[in-house]
Amino acid sequence: MIDYEPTTGVIHLHNQLISYVLQIEPNGVLIHRYWGPNLRHWRLDALNQPERTGQTPVLADADIALGSICAEWPGGGQGDYRYPAFQMRQHNGSPLASLRFKALQIREGKPVLEGLPQFFVVSDDEAETLVLTLTDTTTAVEVTLYYTIYRAFASIIRRVEVRNLGAVPVRLDEIMSASIDLRPQAFDVIQLNGDWAREANVEREPVHTGTKVLRSNRGMSSAQQNPFFALVTPETTEQSGEVFGFALVYSGNFICRIEKDPNALVRAQIGIDSENFSWHLDPGAQFETPEAVLTYSEAGLNGMSQIFHQIIGQRLIPTRYQHMERPILVNNWEATTFNFDRERLLKIAKAGQAVGAELFVLDDGWFGHRDDDTSSLGDWVEYPGKLQGGLVGLSKTIHRWGMKFGLWFEPEMISQNSQLYRTHPDWRLCDPSYTPAVGRHQYLLDLTMPAVRDYLFERISAVIDLVGIDYIKWDMNRPMTDVFSCHLPADQQGEVAHRYVLGLYALISRLTARYPQVLFEGCASGGGRFDMGMLAYMPQIWTSDNTDAIARLRIQYGTSLIYPQSTMGAHVSAAPNEQVGRMTTIETRQNVATSGVLGYELDLTELTTADVDAVKARVKQYKQLRQLLQYGRMIRLRSPFETNEASWVIVDETQTQAVVFFTRVLAQANQLVMPLKLAGLDARADYRVEGRICGGDELMSVGLTLTPPRHQDFWSKMLVLERVSSD
Ligand code: DGJ
């Protein structure tokens, strides 16, 4: 998988799908050569010397113009005027670094990364890792680049480690997880942006000369921007064309930078955002970046998504959750918010049990003295007297009914009106000389502090042990401000945001390791922290606080660009919908939620008998199709961002069963009906669709003509296809 040719310095990472080539020049400078479809070998270097451009200075000791090359790990200050991947400040104030090749190793498997979420290997022979060390010509600072290639995935996992082997401290000001210079070619960039309740908007635009930055400086990966981008050729569609996808395995501040220089070289970078970031490296100290995953596909955006889905599903989500059938839950939040008592909860849970739901989740409001969002965060002890018989009694009853029981927590927060704040005012993240900004009446806890993490670990463990819970919804409802820790020295204040995220990972890895039987679902006011970092611990995430089925079409479509459907919490809620007031049928609501991890978030006792029957039928059907629905191959067919419709199909591995989802948003007079060409089926097989037998070839080449009723907005259809024979 990784070949190194010492005479030419060419390093070729390859599997049957992709090749990634870099080269060590005789002077030790690292050059990027190629990333794309698999090549048998790389011999083109003589024909691929870049033109030296106009005013580009030359490295005097190496006869190389850094500003003209495709760099693999660019530093600043010596003639490469594009954004560097690495920037340090030396003890004497110098911003320079000249990194040259020192050593390389090719290792079986993938070395473990301490303290950060990561892709893993199940056996060492499934991947190889290139460990390439560069050293600065002056300071004895070493940079080690890690590249892992798996046999089975069209991806490269990259990360970087910096070590200060010198005798004086240095300060890191910028360090990307991956940087790559793509050769001149026209690209569009695709991003996922949004805000609360409208996450994962797909936006596409041409890459022009200059720099495009996508980032979050909110201390969380954010609803505003997902830590992802794709560079695609202009003709690329969902089904065909070249895609270079980049994503970060990280939940905090990040930056994606796409810089096209006037000579049409495109530099693509992803890593921790450098605003307010610096890292103090004492002699002997080291720093590790989060991992980035780089994915190449020739099969359009669906091709890219399927690679992300596979690698996330198989090598990121903890193995114990893989292929685990995720329970159908009932959550009380939209039904009751904070206004519940035992009787109300049990009514909802009982109605859930009657329709076949498997897990009852008690959301916010069970702890401290919390009857609204102004108090008690941090006081993770039961609200005395709110529930007759207490949490233990509630949990016992739910369990007796054959359901699992789950609880909501928002561990990273502190309310000013809380016992915790009264005892530990210095546990809040802020600079005490300023009045901190408040969000939803709450503040962040300083997770850089071990004492805070220990407190949370103990409190949450005590509740799990006492109450007996099977599921935790881990919420996080405000972005970071006032990024200052009273417990760190002045020269480490640039480390706070990253140390917070490291603290979060330390806490959740401790809890998830201690309670492997508990299913964790991430949440940050919905999809405010929907990223690969969280997925390395928690296999599903509440996709959005917007539960309107029509809004969800876009949110789930966009989210699926990167994340598999088994990671997307998707609930049926009441009509009219709480967030947008829209009326939709139970069928439409269930169809949209069925294409994620199905749940119900409404008072089921208020449904009509016909709707209850529809829910029962769907729950039964979902259970029968659950492996396929949660773990099948999802292929997007029609985009709600581009058309009045949304459609996707989920096909099982053996192409025996498939489920097609189709929604037409608004009714139209004299509507033009476009055949819906399916994908992913076996062209040689026949399938039963609604009592008729059709060929897989027909379904994919001719398509289905679904004709919605003339006078119905928000019409939706779910079709199950069963294979009947093959020639
Ligand atoms: C925000 C979440 O996204 C909601 O689902 C709910 O849990 C509330 N927080 C509770 O405060």
- Residue 404: what pLDDT? 98
Look-up: residue for tokens 């307010």? Answer: 276
How many Å lie between the centroid of ligand 1 and the Cα of residue 526? Answer: 7
Percentage, residues of the chain above pLDDT 90: 93
Give the position, in ligand 1's atom list, of the atom nearest the Cα of 333: 6
- Reported as a pLDDT band with limits 50, 70 and 90, residue 331 is very high
How many Å lie between the centroid of ligand 1 and the Cα of residue 203? Answer: 27
For residue 613, what are the contacts with CB-CB under 8 A and spacing of at least 6? Answer: none
Residue of 474, 477, 534, 546 with the most ligand 1 atoms within 8 Å of its CB, for mutation: 477
Q: Strands 685-689, 692-695: parallel, antiparallel or unpaired by DSSP?
A: antiparallel
Task: Using the predicted structure, report yes or no on whether residue 51 has a pLDDT greater than 90.
Answer: no
pLDDT tens figures, 118-160: 999 999 999 999 999 999 989 999 999 999 999 999 999 999 9
Q: Whose CA is nearest to atom 5 of ligand 1?
A: 545
- Residue 727: what pLDDT? 53
Average pLDDT for 680-701: 97
pLDDT tens figures, 481-540: 999 999 999 999 999 999 999 999 999 999 999 999 999 999 999 999 999 999 999 999
- Residue 68: what pLDDT? 87
For the annotated catalytic residues, the residue numbers are: 475, 545
Give the position, in ligand 1's atom list, of the atom nearest the Cα of 601: 5
How many Å lie between the centroid of ligand 1 and the Cα of residue 524? Answer: 8
- Residue 63: what pLDDT? 80
- Reported as a pLDDT band with limits 50, 70 and 90, residue 580 is very high
Read off the tokens for 185. 């070619």
Average pLDDT for 86-108: 95
Read off the tokens for 477. 């409802």
Average pLDDT for 376-386: 97
Question: CB 713: neighbour CB atoms within 10 A?
Answer: 17
* Helix axis angle, 586-594 to 609-631, nearest 10°: 20
Task: Using the predicted structure, report yes or no on whether residue 554 has a pLDDT greater than 90.
Answer: yes
Give the position, in ligand 1's atom list, of the atom nearest the Cα of 526: 3
- Residue 48: what pLDDT? 59
Read off the tokens for 317. 């989500």
How many Å lie between the centroid of ligand 1 and the Cα of residue 601? Answer: 11
Question: CB 51: neighbour CB atoms within 10 A?
Answer: 9
Residue of 199, 332, 363 with the most ligand 1 atoms within 8 Å of its CB, for mutation: 363
How many Å lie between the centroid of ligand 1 and the Cα of residue 37? Answer: 44
Give the position, in ligand 1's atom list, of the atom nearest the Cα of 408: 7
pLDDT tens figures, 214-259: 999 999 999 999 999 999 999 999 999 999 999 999 999 999 999 9
Q: Whose CA is nearest to atom 10 of ligand 1?
A: 364
Give the position, in ligand 1's atom list, of the atom nearest the Cα of 363: 7
Residue of 523, 529, 530, 546 with the most ligand 1 atoms within 8 Å of its CB, for mutation: 523
Question: CB 47: neighbour CB atoms within 10 A?
Answer: 6
Give the position, in ligand 1's atom list, of the atom nearest the Cα of 524: 3
Contact between residue 281 and residue 172 where contact means Cβ atoms under 8 Å apart: yes
- Reported as a pLDDT band with limits 50, 70 and 90, residue 44 is confident
Q: Whose CA is nearest to atom 9 of ligand 1?
A: 525
- Reported as a pLDDT band with limits 50, 70 and 90, residue 76 is confident
Contact between residue 188 and residue 202 where contact means Cβ atoms under 8 Å apart: no
Stronger pLDDT, 163 or 52, i.e. the higher one = 163
How many Å lie between the centroid of ligand 1 and the Cα of residue 49? Answer: 55
Give the position, in ligand 1's atom list, of the atom nearest the Cα of 373: 11
Phi, psi of 609 (to 5 degrees): -60, -40
How many Å lie between the centroid of ligand 1 and the Cα of residue 382? Answer: 18
Question: What whole-number distance in Å separates Cα of residue 354 and Cα of residue 349?
Answer: 9
Mean pLDDT of all residues belonging to the chain: 96
- Reported as a pLDDT band with limits 50, 70 and 90, residue 56 is confident
Give the position, in ligand 1's atom list, of the atom nearest the Cα of 337: 10
- Residue 725: what pLDDT? 73
Q: Whose CA is nearest to atom 1 of ligand 1?
A: 525
Task: Using the predicted structure, report yes or no on whether residue 723 has a pLDDT greater than 70.
Answer: yes
How many Å lie between the centroid of ligand 1 and the Cα of residue 244? Answer: 35
How many Å lie between the centroid of ligand 1 and the Cα of residue 333? Answer: 7
pLDDT tens figures, 438-469: 999 999 999 999 999 999 999 999 999 999 99
For residue 75, the cross-strand partners are 86
- Residue 47: what pLDDT? 54
- Reported as a pLDDT band with limits 50, 70 and 90, residue 46 is low
Q: Is 656 left (phi over 0), alpha (psi -120 to 50) or beta?
A: alpha
For residue 518, what are the contacts with CB-CB under 8 A and spacing of at least 6? Answer: 464, 469, 470, 471, 472, 512
How many Å lie between the centroid of ligand 1 and the Cα of residue 682? Answer: 42
- Residue 152: what pLDDT? 97
Q: Whose CA is nearest to atom 2 of ligand 1?
A: 525
Distance of CA 261 to the CA centre of its chain: 29
Residue of 534, 545, 548, 579 with the most ligand 1 atoms within 8 Å of its CB, for mutation: 545
- Residue 49: what pLDDT? 62
Give the position, in ligand 1's atom list, of the atom nearest the Cα of 542: 3
- Residue 316: what pLDDT? 98
pTM confidence score: 0.97
Burial class (CB in 10 A: 0-12, 13-18, 19+), 221: buried
Average pLDDT for 389-409: 98
- Residue 184: what pLDDT? 87
Report residues whose beta carbon is within 6 angstroms of any ligand 1 atom: 333, 363-364, 408, 475, 477, 523, 525-526, 542, 545
Give the position, in ligand 1's atom list, of the atom nearest the Cα of 545: 3
Q: Which helix (H) or strand (E) holds 499?
A: helix 496-514
How many Å lie between the centroid of ligand 1 and the Cα of residue 523? Answer: 8
- Residue 313: what pLDDT? 98
How many Å lie between the centroid of ligand 1 and the Cα of residue 343? Answer: 22
Contact between residue 722 and residue 687 where contact means Cβ atoms under 8 Å apart: yes
Q: Strands 519-522, 471-474: parallel, antiparallel or unpaired by DSSP?
A: parallel
pLDDT tens figures, 172-182: 999 999 999 99
For residue 238, what are the contacts with CB-CB under 8 A and spacing of at least 6? Answer: 300, 301, 302, 636, 637, 639
Q: Whose CA is nearest to atom 3 of ligand 1?
A: 525
How many Å lie between the centroid of ligand 1 and the Cα of residue 475? Answer: 7
Average pLDDT for 348-362: 98
Overall residue count recorded for the chain in this entry: 727
